[in-house]
Structure 1
Amino acid sequence: MSRPNSRPAPCGPRRGRRTNDDLTALAPDVRTFVEALRAHVLEPLRGRGMNYRRLSELLTEEFGRGCSQTTVQRIGAGGKIPPREVLAHLLDLAHTYAGPLGRDRRSAVTDAYLPALRQGDPVLYRIYELQDELGRRRRGGERPRTGNSPPRSAIRHAGRSDTTAVTSARERGRHDTR
């Protein structure tokens, strides 16, 4: 028995919503990344009986913080570009549960990641760019500079000759006889 003034149940997806298979609305770089992620990570995992809920549980166990089923679905649909830690864990899960990922399959996903992140989440892209620059400088022995300040070595050697010794406060304290 139907209720008066009730609307019939909608058939298919709601108007205006993208389905998971429709990637045409995505930016080209994001689309390339999602296609590679689906082909090399998500589809092999689904072939082994892994659904979004199970992926979410495994990511939460591995990652240590919550990665909801909805978030995993949005990553698979291209609505969210994952942080690189989550992507690394997804690649590891695919390797563990769906068989070894070859270098070409792994690189197909990782090579498409940064251009997609630049388009999909420019703020996170900039954060990673700055973190990587900081890491490169630290590995190279150079300290990162802020603003227009000169490097510490220039400050340390400015205005003193090689024969002038600068005595530290600790050394002055030792030799003070007062």
Structure 2
Amino acid sequence: MKSKLDTVRAWDILSELQADGRISKSELAKRVHLSASACSQRPRILETGGAIEGYYIWLSPSLTGGVIFVMVEVVLDRHRLEDQRHFETAIHAIPEVLDCWAIGGRIDYLMRVAAPSMAAYQDFMEGLRQVGLGIDQYYSLIVTKSVKSNSPIPLSASRQR
């Protein structure tokens, strides 16, 4: 069975939707050289097939009147599978943790955390240590400015496999 991504048009549709998730179906159809009816159906097929996980807007941090972002390297005190699952499940429910990645190497996880101030961030991290997530150590890297963020995944490399 062929993958839903085996067609050039599917990659083109994904590329256009990454660039502009609010694009109209008629404009999408023009850009990928398909009929409007085909462009209405194919994104839904890609959604149900799991290629598209959702549509988002990116808010300006200035909207909140200022927010700091901190990259946090986390080392767990134990490395059993159930400890990792416990940590990961808990992190999903914490809105201040914007992103969290499991990392191979000297740290276990890398998180991107938002906080209204350094004092609030420090209180947040101390709270995380107190709730029994198994955090042994954490290292904070303060984001001083955003140079590049929220970039689309480069699909051109994926298409050449």
TM-score, with normalisation over the residues of structure 2? 0.30
Give the structure with the larger helix fraction: 1
Rg (Cα) greater in structure: 1
TM-score between both structures, scaled by the size of structure 1: 0.28
With CA pairs under 8 Å and 6+ residues apart, which has the higher RCO, 1 or 2?
2
Which structure shows the higher strand fraction? 2
